[in-house]
Each structure stands twice: as structure tokens, then as C-alpha cells.
A and B are shown apart, each in its own frame.
Chain A
Amino acid sequence: MTDTTVREKATTAPPRATKPTGPIGARVERKEDARFLTGAGQYTDDVTLPHQTYACFVRSPHAHAKIRSVRTEAAKRSPGVLAVYTGADLPASVGGLPCGWLITGSDGKPMKEPKHPILAQGKARYVGDQVAIVIAETYDQAKEAAQLVEVDYEPLPAVVDVRDATRKGAPAVHDEAPDNVCYVWGLGDKAAVDAAFASAAHVTTLEFVNNRLIPNAIEPRACNAAYSRADDSYTLYVANQNPHVERLLMTAFVLGLPEHKVRVIAPDVGGGFGSKIYLYAEETVCVWASRLVGRPIKWTAERSESFLSDAHGRDHVTKAELALDKDGKFLALRVKTSAAMGAYLSTFASCIPTILYATLLAGQYTTPAIHCEVTAVFTNTAPVDAYRGAGRPEATYVVERLVATAAREMSLAQDEIRRRNFIRKFPYATPVALTYDTGDYEACLDGAMKLADVAGFPKRREEAAKRGKLRGLGYSSYIEACGLAPSNVAGSLGARAGLFEAGEVRVHPTGKVTVFTGSHSHGQGHETTFAQVVADRLGIAVDDVDVVHGDTGRIPFGMGTYGSRSIAVGGTAIMKAVDKVVAKGRKIAAHLMEVSDADVEFKDGKFTVKGTDKNVPFAQVALTAYVPHNYPLDKLEPGLDETAFYDPTNFTYPAGTHICEVEIDPETGETKIASFSACDDFGNVINPMIVEGQVHGGLAQGIGQALLEGCVYDKESGQLLTGSYMDYAMPRAADLPSFKVDTRVTPCTHNPLGVKGCGEAGAIGAPAAVINAICDAVGVKDVEMPATSERVWRAIRSAQKRS
């Protein structure tokens, strides 16, 4: 791994710290809100095309079964039905859904990649696996006919738990992986870690489950696929976070269609949280079938289908050990994790518990030796892939649960043990392949302690005790690697794609601007934030900049939105395009003012001759570019429309400290979040209002993981027991507190905006803070997530028994 370590490149001018003078740093109200608040948004299911048809999928009711036969005659005769297709109808040229990241195991062998057919072939491997598609004039007709599809299943034993799946004699999900192991992968210096443990004054050990979560964007997945005979092309509307990636994977790896003959539009998308990154079977089948049916096919998941078939998140079983010297300095960290992959490898499944997990195990600390071994395991469940945070919440949970536990065991204050181990010199190369460019961890710790009024906690605890309640305080000092990613580094780690971003800045003759970005907004507010960035740089009004995203037919290229990458990578691509616009504009202005290019500077929306007040405004330069009557046509093309691709030189490293205060009723185990404080360093902030909103949302999902949410499959039958909102506890308004949030700023050193990304921080930091608080209140070493009232009640009883 050492050769893949990211080394910091020398940076250009230091990015400025946030000080709102222009649109950057201002709390600009969102441009997109006008349509969302009036019902004018257009989500995929809102799109109805001429001659629309509707699809319903037949899904396996078994977790594991041989498909002996599928009889479709009755369904085909059902009213309104146009077509029924099964796995047997797929031509040999149709491939399986690809995995975008090749992990090479510690044994040097590539991971096992069993075929993931878009309609089950031979076997169904989880409850909800799609077996057939029924296409009809109306959805009701398709659904009724779907019930007439007769599938003769031979049920097979199933395994849904990672611990069971690797036991001897466990049923094999795939013949290619008889032991259910996809790969065993390691990172770090095992010998150095073992040596450090041998000489440690203290070792803290924890074993826990990082609970499986179901993403639950409120807009269910949906698609609408149309084939045009006129030019032999396809248009796919799909609720997706990265339409170009969707198109590339679908055309090049599955359907064998010419990429330029497929247009993918991800219109308004109602939340993603990772679950809409992936290329799924449903939209791929609809595109394939749309040509055969000759009419557009719409499919929208019912929520029950979302529960069954969206890629889930987390699902780790981990043993973690921290070695410390007598002063509480961390000497080494040893982690062993089994991570569920589910029945098939989803698009980025393999890199989540490896590249986005083990590399973050240094946390904010100078731990000199770290080793992590990850076993990825197939199970008869829905696929597991990135969900908000993706690997980094799991890493933070390992580190921060260990740190909190070690502090208690060694009678050190929670802030003190962290201060003794914080990284203070940057750039800092961790023993797990990353180089942090900048940070100030103590500033965020202090900030969070102030927000949380840690000084007043003993009094509050005492007061709660008088009322018969238990109070506890929990810290979590997280770090994440965002701004994915330097393509060469990702490539050397197994990525099968680049991770740059593209942006186009089109200046219109009147000086108004349309920005085309490869990033995709599904709640993040890019239409506002990106407009602020461009308006700030060009010295024009935010309302004069429109941002277009989510359409392969309009945007040059894009890798999409995930991993808190949009502003750091997508925003920088736009900045680079703006730079080109300004550079060309300078030449046009120099011509107009009859001076040399070098004498012209661009500031506050004007091209000015240095040292004078002679200038031409931006809009005049734009007009000149499109009406080139007085123009250096021999040297310069007309027009003002520039495109840039940006590939980052390093990840960005947002970090911060979250402090949770809980109050527990010892009689019932009911746990209330008394307060939650988050102090984060996202580098420069473009729009504080939007950033705070991202933090709030992330915290809700992190607290949801810690207290409420847990996906449960029945061990015997493999049935999903938490398959509806009656069974899966999504956080509601009354489950959460108001949050106290603040930021500190160390600008990212390697992008021009000095930004790091903020989308996942809440979900990354919160779970450990909550569980640490509960452990503090109850006086136990661990409570399993989700810490339901029952689990907390049992923990209280076990603590009482011990004392």
C-alpha cells in the first residue's frame, strides 16, 4: 500500500478563510425551493410519456431457491398485458450488473465476482430478487398479472448473517464462493502492530456489530425508459445520483448498447444517501424491454419493494483492540471485520468496507501502527453498498468507541485522552495510506465542548439523578476522507473508473450564465451553492446563474454525487471553467481597450486596465464574444463557453467533534437525546445555511442508526422482518432534538475554494457519540445498536448486577 500513499502536492496561492464579502459565505435562500414548495418539482414518477406503459416486477418470496420453471402464459393473457419477460428471455449478449471496484485479496487473488443477472437465472438469492417483469397498459393491470406468473421454486437453505455465513457447512450463496467469502483483504503493518501490543501498558478490546441500515430516501426508486425508432436511441429517466455513470455501466457492461444512443436523465431526485448511486436491475430491464415493447415503460418502486431491493448499508461484525502506553498514548490499533456484501456485489460494494473504511482507522490520532483485516461475505440478503458515510461511519465507530472505552478504563477525561493523541502537524501521513492535508482537531473539540456546555454537565447529571434519571455524555471525534478522489490513487486501489468531475460554464450574449455540472443534486442545494461560487467569481448576481445537472444529453460528462464530493470536485471543475472564461474574457477586454492582455485584471465583475479606472464590464465582454464586430478573430474564437475537467490531487479531510448528552429512564430504558452538539471543520463554507442543513440531516441518520434503525432478516427463513415503516424505525420529528452546530475553518490546501465537503459528517460522527453517552450514563462497556429501550434496560440491569 505504501506506493499508493497520497503525497501532498505543493499548493498555489493559499485559499482564503471564509469572510463573506460576496455571495460566497452568505446564507442565500435556495433557488430550487420555489419549485419544490409549489409542487412544480419533477421527479421521475411525475414524468408520463406519450403511449406510456407500466411495469411490475415479480420478486422471489424465498431467500434462496432454485427456479425450476417460470410459466407466464396466464399473465400474458391477463387484461392490458403487453409483455412478460423472465431471465430465460434475456439474450446471451446481456451481461450481469458490474461491480465498479476490484479488490485484490491478501492472497493476491481477485475478489469473487459472481454474475448478477438483471432477471434471476437458475436461482433466486434473496427475498425480493427480481424474477420476471410484467408490462401492461396500467400499473394495476401489471400488478394483477404479476400475481399470475407461476414460478416453481425449490427452496434452498439460506444464510443471512455474516457470522453464520462463514461457518463450516453454511449454505453457499454462489457456487463460485463455496465458503461465501468474496475476499479477505488487509491494510497496514501487522508485525508492527503485534509488537506494539506486546509492550502495551493497557489494551482496550471491543466486539460489536455495526447494524445494517435501509437507506429510505423518501422518493422510492423509479425509472421511465423509452426507445425511439426514429434514431434508434433510448431515453431513461431514473432516480439516480450519477446519470453518466449509470449510462456507462448500463451500455458498456450490461446491454451492449452504443453509449451515445442512450440519454439518461436524473430529474429532481428525492434523496439518495448512496442508495441511488448504483446501477440497478430494474431500470436496466426497462431499457432493454422498451425496444421490444416499442413504448415507454415506467416503473416506480412501492415502499415495500424499496425495503427489499434498495442496496442496504453497514452490516459489519468487528473485533477491535487499542494498545496504549501508561499515559494513554495510542500505540497500535488492531481491527478485524466481517462485512456483508449481500447476495450480489452492488456497484461499489467491495470498496466500502476496505478503501473507505480501513484507511480511516487512524481517525484524528497519531496512532503509529494500525492493521485491519476485512472479510467480505456473501449472504442471502439484498446487496449492501454505500449508505451516507459509507465505511467512514463504521471506521469512526471503531475508533471512537475504543477511545471512549479506553479513557474510562484508564480514568482519563474524554477530552484529555483525545488531546494527548491528536495529530497536530500537517501534512500528516497515516499508517493506513492517507495523507491529511490540514486540520485543527483541538479547535473543534473545544468548540463542541463549549456548545455542549460540558462544564455544566455535572450539575445537570446531579439534577437528573434527583428525578431518578441517568445522564451521560458521549464524545466522537471523527474524520472522513471526502472529495473522491484522485483517479490515479483510486485506480491503484482497484477502482474501475475515474473519479474526476466535469463542469461547463456557458456565458450567454447578455452576460447571464448557465452552468452544466456533472455533480447531481438530490437535496444538497447545488443550484444555489454552485451559483454562489460562479456569481462570486464573475461579480454577477446569483440569480443570473442557473445550474443544470442530471442529464447526459446536456452535460459534457459527470461522475455524480456521493462521498461529499460535489463542492470539492464538482465545484472545482466549475471554478476551472470560470477561470477559462475569465482568461478569454481578459483577451477580449484587452482588445476592446487596446492594451496588452497582461495589463488587464478582472475584479468585481469588471475587466480593468491595471492601475487605472478604465474598464469594460463582464456583460459587455460577453456580448462582444457573440457579436464579434470589433474582435481579434485572427487570434481568438468567438463565443464564451468553457468546459473543464478536474481530478483532485488528494482527498479532503473534513473532521470535527460531536458531543451527545442523553437522559435515560432506568425503569424503562427509554433514552432521550437531551442535547446534541457538533463542531465541524468543512474548510471554507459557501452557504452556511445549507451546510447546517446537511449536518442536521446527517445527525438525524446517525442518531437513527444509534437509537432506532436496524434491518432484521429472519435467520431461519431469510425473510426481511423490517420491511415496512411499521417495522423499521425511521426517526420522526419527536425522536430528535434541535441540534447545536458550529464550524471551525482550516481551508483545504489543494482545491481553489478551500472546501472539504459536509454531506456525511453527521452520519459519521453521531453513532459513536450517542452510544458513548449511553455507556457513560449506564456505566457499561457496550450497548448494541440500535440502542432500543429494551437493550438499554438490559444494560442497566447488567450494570446493577455487577455492582
Chain B
Amino acid sequence: MKIPVSLAVNGKPVSAEIEPRTLLVEFLRGPLQLTGTHVGCDTAQCGACTVLVDGKPMKSCNMLAIQAQGRSITTIEGLATDGALHPMQAAFRKHHGLQCGFCTPGMVMAAVGLAGQAKQPTEAQIREALDGNFCRCTGYHNIVKAVQEGLAEMTA
């Protein structure tokens, strides 16, 4: 049995027939071929699949595609505008906040989602706020620096 779903992904309307059990991340990576959103675990703990749902960071392995009915999804592919990196992407590059790049899309989306929560969070607050995202490469040092600058740029 398949069910219809309609939502907006990176600003474009999308309609599809899906199996009810399809996870949002499976829908993004499969039919929509948006493979920038990654899967790093099976217990909703690594955060590599984080996307924005109506502007709020969500682990897309932790919700069904059908739960996104009528909502607006932003993935890493939809963050840059007109070929220019989003301030958070630019800050990650400038501060070497990524190495292998696998956790990066989720980390960047989680960081973007922090905007609006606290204006100029401290280092400790950023570390706490990134609680849902693993990085095995960077030791987080440069990620924290990048997020600090990215948030400042976003609110500037």
C-alpha cells in the first residue's frame, strides 16, 4: 500500500506516493536523490541526517516522510543561495570545521538551527547545543569556532 505525500523541499513543491513506513531520510536520499543528508547510525544519535523542518533542526531518520506532509524541508543542498555559501557553510570552511565531510551536512544544519535560540552563545553553550551530533574527525574544536562565527554572521 502506498500513500500520497506533498511537501516543499528546498523551496520546491514535491509530491510522491510512498510506503507509509518510509523515513524522511529515506525519502530524501532515495526518490529525491538528495544524498547530501547522511545516515550514520540506527538509533537517532549521530545527527548526520539533521535537516530543517519549518526552520527547526530535526533528525530525518527519526520522522516518517508522511509526517512532513505540508511542511517545508531544507537540506544541505538547499542552503547555499545563488551559488554563494550560507554564512554557516562559509564559517565551516574558513575554520576547517570539517574533515571527512560525512557528519558535516547534519552538523551544519544543526548549527543553522541554533540561530534564534541564543544570540551570541558561549563556547560551552554551543558545545551543549551540538549534543545531538557526532563528529569523529575534528574533535569539535574547529566546529565550535565555525558555529560561533557562523551564528554571528547570520545575525549580523
Contact = CB atoms under 8 A, between A and B. Distances in A.
Interface residues of A, number: 56
B144 A271 contact: no
Interface in A693-747: 693, 696-701, 724-726, 730-734, 736, 738-739
Contact of B134 (A30, A523, A696, A730): A730
A492 interface: no
B123 interface: yes
Nearest to B135: A218
A33 B139 contact: no
B155 interface: no
Contact of A730 (B37, B124, B136, B137): B136
A57 to B, nearest CB: 15
Interface in B5-64: 29, 34-43, 45-46, 48
B85 interface: yes
Interface in B49-95: 75-77, 79-80, 85, 89, 92-94
A23 interface: no
Contacts of A725: 41, 43, 45-46, 134
Interface string A201-226: 00000000000000011111000000
Given A725-B41, A732-B134, A523 B99 contact: yes
Interface residues of B, number: 53
Contacts of A693: 96, 99, 137-138, 142
Interface string B93-126: 1101011111111001000000000000001101
Main secondary structure of the interface of B (DSSP, over half): loop
Contact of A268 (B40, B80, B101): B101
Contacts of B101: 32-33, 35-37, 41, 268, 270, 523
Contacts of B103: 218, 270
Contact of B46 (A218, A525, A692, A736): A218
Interface string B134-151: 111111111110000000
A37 B77 CA distance: 9
B19 to A, nearest CB: 8
Contacts of A732: 127, 130-131, 134, 140
Interface in A587-645: none
B41 A303 contact: yes
B102 A43 contact: yes
A216 B96 contact: no
Contacts of B38: 43, 218-219, 270
Q: Which of B41, B79, B101, B144 has the most CB of A within 10 A?
A: B101
Contacts of A690: 96
A177 to B, nearest CB: 34
A38 B35 CA distance: 10
Nearest to A34: B93
Contacts of B29: 46
A729 to B, nearest CB: 11
A18 interface: no
Contacts of B34: 39
12 contacts: A37-B85, A38-B89, A39-B105, A46-B35, A217-B100, A218-B46, A220-B39, A271-B99, A523-B137, A730-B134, A730-B136, A733-B126
The 6 closest A-B pairs by CB, nearest first: A39-B36, A270-B102, A36-B101, A700-B139, A523-B100, A523-B99
